[in-house]
Structure 1
Amino acid sequence: MSIPNEALQKILQEIGQKKAFAERQLVVVKQQKTLKNIETRKLQLTASEMESLPKETKVYEGVGKMFVCTPIPDVKKRLSSESEQLKSDLTNLDKKEDYLEKTYQNSKTSLEQVLRSGGN
């Protein structure tokens, strides 16, 4: 049983679009993961520097165009919550990356099968 050329062309186009979309999204997700990892590293470095400071040291945080004196425990709490949020974001990005990789591979396999069968 042969598939008409128009239908075969439409199937190939749909699978190709799905594959290309997954490929583009994979690039975006990998970039986002890289940025999140950089941010995580910055938070770790900041937290380790905070640990080495004496308790009476004044710490300032940027708020808009000004700096506000903030107690060290408050800064540590903020760093901790940001770190937890980044871990959560990275977990979600890992799941999204897995899904997109599977979609990409499935699309690639489907294209190969359609091309191998030649519409038969």
Structure 2
Amino acid sequence: MEQLAAQIQEKAVDSQQQLRSILLQVTAKERSLKIKELAKKELNGVGKDAAVYGGVGKMFIRTDLDSVRKTIDEEIAGLQKDIDSLRKKKEYHETTTLNANAHLQKMKESAV
């Protein structure tokens, strides 16, 4: 019985640690998403004949405005996909933590 309780407790602690890690990752991805959306908004205000530069390594080269917009759209879609995936993981770990704590509580009540 004690060994089972220890395993459940370990699972709960592991899920809580994973949950904290996932929350940090979601926050970072959301911050990056906001930056990309702001960049896209700024590009929409730029005229067709404006000079646009894209980063390549440590330097910048003049780039076609449409290709920059396309790249930003792809990055935004990728970030949104990552955030959705992380939120699913978050839900899983929240459920696992709640279930483990409920099982531990039932075990404590049955032992008394």
Give the C-alpha shift of residue 56 in structure 1: 1.0
- Between the aligned partners of 1:115 and 1:59, the Cα distance in structure 2 is 65
User: Helix, strand or coil for the counterpart of 2:19?
Assistant: helix
Aligned to 1:75: 68
- Between the aligned partners of 1:55 and 1:31, the Cα distance in structure 2 is 38
Larger radius of gyration, structure 1 or 2?
1
- Between the aligned partners of 1:29 and 1:80, the Cα distance in structure 2 is 24
TM-score, normalised relative to structure 2: 0.96
Give the C-alpha shift of residue 115 in structure 1: 1.1
- Between the aligned partners of 2:111 and 2:23, the Cα distance in structure 1 is 35
TM-score, normalised relative to structure 1: 0.90
Structure 1: unaligned runs, 5 residues or longer: 1-7
CA root-mean-square deviation: 1.0
Structure 2: unaligned runs, 5 residues or longer: none
Identify which of 75, 100, 115 aligns with 2:108.
Answer: 115
- CA offsets, 1:56-107, max 9 Å, x none? 1111111111111111100000000111111111111111111110000000
Aligned to 1:46: 39
- Between the aligned partners of 1:31 and 1:12, the Cα distance in structure 2 is 29
How many residue pairs get aligned? The number is 112
Give 4+ residue runs of structure 1 displaced > 6 Å after superposition: none
